[in-house]
Structure 1
Amino acid sequence: MNRLWLPFIFLLFMFKMHGQSANSPEDIIKEKFRRYCESVPREEIYIHTDRDKYMAGEDLWFSVYLFDRQKNKLSDHSSLAYLELVNSDNHQVIVKRIRLNDGVGPDHILLPDTLSTGRYVIRAYTNWMKNFLPYNCFVREITIYNALSERILTGRPEPYGIRDENVNNSNTLLKYNSGVEMKINKSEDGITELTLETDVSFRASSDNICYLLVQTHGVVNLVKKIDLKSDRVITHLMADVFIPGINQLVIFNDNLEPVLEKLFYTPLNETGYPKLSSADTFKTRDRVSLTIGTDNAESVPSQCFSISVVPATGRISMPDIADYIIFGTEFGPLPEAIRNRNIKDIPVDTLNRFLLKAKSNWIDWHSVISGKFPLLDYPAEQDFHLVKGKLTEKATRVPVRGKNVFLSIPGKTATFQYSRTDSTGSFRFTLPVSNELMDMIIQPEDPDIKSSIIIESPFAAGYFQNSGNADTSSLTLPGFISKWGVNYQISKIYGTNKFVDTNNQTLKSNPPKRFYGKPDIELTMNDYILLPLMEEVFFELTPGVQLKRKRNTYSMTVADPASNRIYEKPPVLFSDGVVINDPAVIAAIDPETVEKIDVIKDLYLVGDYIFFGIVNIITVAGDFSGIELPENAVRRKYRVIDPVVSFTSPDYSSELEKKARIPDFRNTLYWNPAVKSSGKNKASVEFWTSDGVGSYEVTLQGVN
């Protein structure tokens, strides 16, 4: 085995504190910047896939890493990531939600065997990142080949749905920069010489002073007052002012208005990277032991990096995690000369040309200084999944404003959520992050209004233009693809490509509790003689609660337990936790199918919603079956995340298995999304080679 690729990110940073007096202009600038970054935190996603080329029908294994850009560490800000596989027309082929634990989420997708040969793009983002689409979105191009189809998609999908690489963001340029020029020159000893050239007009209007701020991915490195004693002033900045990454230098006038900004790159410290050690060559069906070690005194962290072993193809199509996070998505689409390249391989002139025009689409200095932050529609999903939708008039599709909408999950434990539609008719609810299949019912409070409920997709296809086929060059099939195609077909025939473990435990949410707590009446039907009608049940067994019939109309009333007076409004009626609000439906239930009746007789509040009593009929089945919902209600099976499956590979430790005649031609030899340390300064993994002969690449990605 050879060609051991060792990308790894060390996210240690330091910055020097420069003290000023309280409420000084320097403190004001820092405080405004701190508030902005706190109110508008930046998330970045990186995805490590086992390969960048696949056969249609294969498994694609991946691990998601979520970063807090300011802290430059794994983030727990969001618990869900959204992944899309997009074809050359920018149409979604596969969508998936991935659970994130402390910023890491392993998963996989099964590529349909009907996919045509062509270039595809993986897009990934969180609900929070949707506030800043299309730019704040991880994108990676992969190629899929179909051995059984001659159809080839010749286009290349636009990662952001945007063709113009010169359009970096929606933030405006600083417009106060007349009369100020900045030049940056870094010497070999690490000291940076900053030259400011100003004209008479600027110096006069700024009282012969200005302020310099240096920040890197949201971390303030320096705020300094500069006296403009002449038209050319030179300031020397020490090396510790510039932490690794893209440094932003901003000049403010004496009114603290931003007047000029420049971007500057400080290289990463490449010491302390992990080292992979193993033998160089192996036989077929041979045991492989890989040891991962570092030069640092600290132990290799557990579950912080992922590793893949795949056939060597001679080209890496994605920068490693450390290089990717330098730019992230903050500066918009990267030009071809920078995209998908390790930064140490990019000429300095190429970087400088890009940084000369690049603009941050995160830091908007006008918002920073004014304190007027953007209004954000998408909250971070922290241990919940957001379900959004709209209530519209059925005939006209006009939004229905100011109406209550209910969410129910049928079951023996009643849960209740309500949402009041806003000016656009929108409502929102939250669901627990679970791989359980939930029965979700959404309905308006008033069952008689002629309305429709539209549940919005949580995926962000609408944020990307369908402007595919930007690159119409033909796709050249590499020589190894025919071999991979045969490998896939053999694995499919012999069933050796089913490397998934479906015995993982179900990720369950916390057990639900009755939203109304302990009821005033908790009637267990088996404790009493069976009565033939629900009217008789309420008359005989639930004092203060009456189900009455007048001709063909039913009504339900609850009396205030303190005054014994009937409430001015009827109680809210539930069956198996689902709001029904039609007493006739309650009357039609067969008492023999009822297990319990819960009653709340006091006024009860959930948020701003007032219940004038609650009656919940809990059936033996507990699944809200046999009751017809109103026409304007929506019932849908909903799973927030799919069960996570695991990569497994053959074990040839026994001589019998080693001599087995079932062929083994895996295109991914090994994948582990959560390598665990086995001792101080090292971790190790073991797997077995296949029947395939050739060179293999080992790729390690992760965070320390």
Structure 2
Amino acid sequence: MIVDRMKIRLAMTGLGRYCIILWITGMLLVALSRPVIADSENSVLFTDRTWALSGDTIWFRVSWTGDSNMMGNVLHVQLENMENEVVTGVMVTIDHGRGSGYIPVPDSLATGAYWLRGYSGFMRNGDSATTLSRLITVFHRFDRDITSLQVPDQILPVKTSVPEGLVNLHILRSAWTPGDTVSFSVNLSEDASRSVRELTVSAFLDVPVPLDLASHYVTGLTPALNFEGVSFPPEKNGFLIEGVVKPRQGETLPERSLVMLSISDSIPYFDYYVTDSRGYFQFMLSSAFGTAEIFVRAVAANGQELFTDLTEGLMTGADKMPIQERLLNPDEMTSLNNMLESAWFERIFGGEVAWKDREFRMVHPFDQAFYGEPYQRVYPSEFFDLPDFMEISRELLPGVRFRQRDNHFVIHMLNLDERYYFENGPLRLINGIPVFDNDLLYGFNSTDIHYIDIILQERVFGDISFKGILAIYMNDGNEKWLQGQNNLGRYRIPCLQIPKAAGIYKTALSQGSDQLPDFRRVFLFESVNTTAGNKMFSFPSSDLKGTMVVRLEGVTNSNEPFEIIRKIEMK
């Protein structure tokens, strides 16, 4: 490991140049070599269906055998087209080798075959890896008269034959009437209970897709981006946020720059990273779920503010598969058109809508802001209205000097321990976001601000020393101060997926009304206890006619996937 010690001075706007002294010690600059990741077929994905309509939600379960200490416990699951381009993806956490989640299928996604893959971010430390992928056929819900499908050619699925008597799937009868409650049983022998690691059962209406296409396939993976010498830590209950720093047009990138990441949560989040000469940075965001709005700010050692771009540190398919055209026969075309028509009516009657994580949750290790307990918290609304921040600081903020010098403003804070004012300016935060422009604060009046935290001491965060802290929290909806912050990167990013129960399709969407038809196409998706014995399952069918697939999928302790399929007629 190469160790570097350096001092970075961040210049503040105002008369003279005031700085925060940053001592960065023990920074890992480069990895001496990239480790080789062996073939890593650690994740086996099970889905609630073999096909989907655009706008649907695909639910999945995962069985994971990776070493969480080495590879982390976060699995990236993504949908890719046949060109290995990522369409959408999610991140789910693995607990004791199991995980579950869902992927909303974009409403505009074109008809075709798509890969569903799972991998850990740690696999990016190798130049390549392999995973067990699945194929999902998507039909655009407004397509009509589909006569053929483009499917992969010359690809063999990975399957293990299940000896008769080891695991049995028994349907009570072969023909049912729409609206019936379908019942079946799953029986595991003593040998099966010792050799089977995971079992799931699903039930869905059939469409003209070869069931073989829904099996598992060994496919190669390659990192979408490859930064030479950069290592990727295991993602344990968190995930990496990555990006690069960019200078203004015509200027050169500094050798080092400080990148700060902030989240304006109820408890503000802050972290920092010192880049190398390429401007690369990474943050590990832990215990964050849903969709986050993050703010990223970068500054060079001379105080120059820089621009930032986030990059997607994904892995994608390494090889493009040959494609063949599979023609549909008249019965298959009729069945598919009926399914697409039912989906149209389902939308009219308020049917399935894709799930999306619009909320944000974050588990904080402490119950206060990163800067600790404030010396004083001031609520300006409890006092007379004051027209600007100079008046607020003079009347309400002890130990804070906010003064005008040569048409700009400067801030000094009292060092309460030593009884003198710090020579350098404090860390200034607005809603938890670092700002460097003192002039920005002047326009704030009492009605703009919810409260102000002041810290009249030197505070150390990691290797950074702050000469006092002034943290201003605006009233809800007040974002005027963000105008003109051209160097502040503002991003909405998906975080770890918020767990939800896979079962929205178990009951009819028209439940409670005898007048509305039931257009459900997927009926059941559950985990099966792998202990020996007979297990009974049942589910209400919908009003749709056609062929229904009841599927039992599993994986052995030696990581070999298998499936048992039964078809019944709804007529």
Which TM-score band applies after superposition, normalised by the shorter structure?
Answer: 0.7 to 0.9
Q: Which residue of 1 aligns with 2:340?
A: 488
- Give the stretch that moved more between structures: 503-512 or 688-697: 503-512
Deviation at 1:601, TM superposition (A): 1.7
Verify the 8 A CA contact 2:169 2:552 in the aligned structure 1: no
Structure 2: gaps (5+ residues): 1-33, 223-227, 558-571
Aligned to 1:475: 326
Query: Structure 1 residues 423 and 551, CA, compared in 2 at 3 Å: closer, same or farther?
Result: closer
Residues 84-119 of structure 1: per-residue CA shift (max 9 Å, x gap): 322233333333333444443333334345444433
Seen in structure 2, the aligned counterparts of structure 1 residues 687 and 408 have a Cα distance that, compared at 3 Å, is: same
Of 35, 46, 49 in structure 2, the residue corresponding to residue 48 of structure 1 is 46
Q: Cα–Cα, structure 1 residues 297 and 607, in superposed 2: closer, same or farther, change >3 Å? A: same
Shift of 1:429: 1.9
Is the contact made by 2:205 and 2:546 (CA closer than 8 Å) also made in structure 1? Answer: no
Point out the more displaced range, 690-699 or 422-431. Answer: 690-699
Say if 2:40 and 2:131, in contact at 8 Å, map to a contact too. Answer: no
Deviations 1:13-51 (Å, cap 9, x if unpaired)?
Answer: xxxxxxxxxxxxxxxxxxxxxxx9999995722211233
| 1:541 pairs with 2:396 | yes
Task: Name the SS of the counterpart of 1:488 in structure 2.
Answer: helix
Aligned residue runs from structure 1 range 136-155, under 5 A: 136-146=130-140, 147-148=143-144, 154=150
Contact 1:47 1:65 (8 Å CA) reproduced = yes
Tell me, in whole angstroms, the C-alpha distance in 1 between the residues paired with 2:370 and 2:39. Answer: 33
Aligned with residue 212 of structure 2, among 295, 306, 316: 316
Corresponding residue SS for 1:482: helix
Distance 1:112 1:39 in 2: 32
Distance change >3 Å, CA 157–CA 570, structure 1 → 2: farther
One-letter amino acid matched to 2:307: S
Q: Is the 1:130–1:136 Cα contact (8 Å) retained in structure 2? A: no
1:574, CA displacement in angstroms?
0.9
Segment drifting more, 542-551 vs 149-158: 149-158
Q: Which runs of 5+ in 1 are unaligned?
A: 1-35, 160-164, 166-266, 334-360, 362-373
- SS of 2:278's equivalent in the other structure is coil
Q: TM-score, normalised by structure 2?
A: 0.74
Distance in 2, Cα, partners of 1:556 & 1:627: 20
CA offsets per residue over residues 109-138 of structure 1, 9 Å max, x none? 343454444332223222112223543344
Say which of 180, 202, 206 aligns to 1:286: 180
Q: Give the secondary-structure state (helix, strand or coil) at the position aligned to 2:322.
A: coil
Q: CA deviation at 1:396?
A: 5.2
1:626 partner SS: helix
Residue 91 of structure 2 corresponds to residue 93 of structure 1: no
Task: Say if 1:84 and 1:96, in contact at 8 Å, map to a contact too.
Answer: yes
Q: Which amino acid aligns with 1:308?
A: S
State the structure with more CA Rg: 1
SS at match of 1:685: strand
Task: Report whether the alignment pairs 1:514 with 2:395.
Answer: no
- Residues in 1 aligned to 2:214 and 2:114: alpha-carbon distance in whole angstroms: 14
Q: Does 1:699 align with 2:552?
A: yes
Which residue of the partner structure matches residue 262 of structure 1?
A: none
| Structure 1 pair 549–574 and aligned structure 2 pair: CA distance change class (3 A) | same
Q: Does residue 1:561 correspond to 2:561, yes or no?
A: no
Q: Which has the higher contact order (CA 8 A, sep 6+)?
A: 2
| Contact 2:256-2:274 at 8 Å conserved across structures | yes
**1:311–1:505 CA distance, 2 compared to 1 (3 A):** same
TM-score (normalizing by structure 1): 0.61
For residues 28-427 of structure 1, the aligned pairs below 5 Å read 44-68=42-66, 77-112=71-106, 114-132=108-126, 134-146=128-140, 147-148=143-144, 154=150, 156=152, 273-284=166-177, 285-296=179-190, 305-311=199-205, 315-317=211-213, 377-395=231-249, 399-411=253-265, 413-427=267-281
Q: Which residue identity does 2:45 align to in structure 1?
A: I
Residue 703 of structure 1: how far off its partner (Å): 7.0
Name the CA shift for 1:130/1:43 in 2 (closer, same or farther; >3 Å): farther
- Secondary structure at the counterpart of residue 60 of structure 1: strand
Task: Report the RMSD for the aligned CA atoms in angstroms.
Answer: 4.4
Q: Distance in 2 between matches of 1:272 and 1:49?
A: 25
Structure 1 position 573, deviation (Å): 0.7
Aligned to 1:457: 312
State the Cα distance separating 1:407 from its structure 2 match.
1.0
Match of 2:525 among 672, 675, 678: 672
Go from structure 1 to structure 2 and tell me whether the alpha carbon gap of 1:399 and 1:388 turns closer, same or farther (over 3 Å shift): farther
Residue of structure 2 in register with 1:639 after alignment: 494
Other-structure match for 2:567: none
What is the DSSP-based 3-state SS (H/G/I as helix, E as strand, rest coil) of the residue aligned with 2:338?
Answer: helix
SS at match of 2:404: strand
Higher mean alpha-carbon deviation, 147-156 vs 635-644, is at 147-156
Q: Which residue of 1 aligns with 2:10?
A: none
Match of 1:193 in 2: none
Q: How many residues align?
A: 504
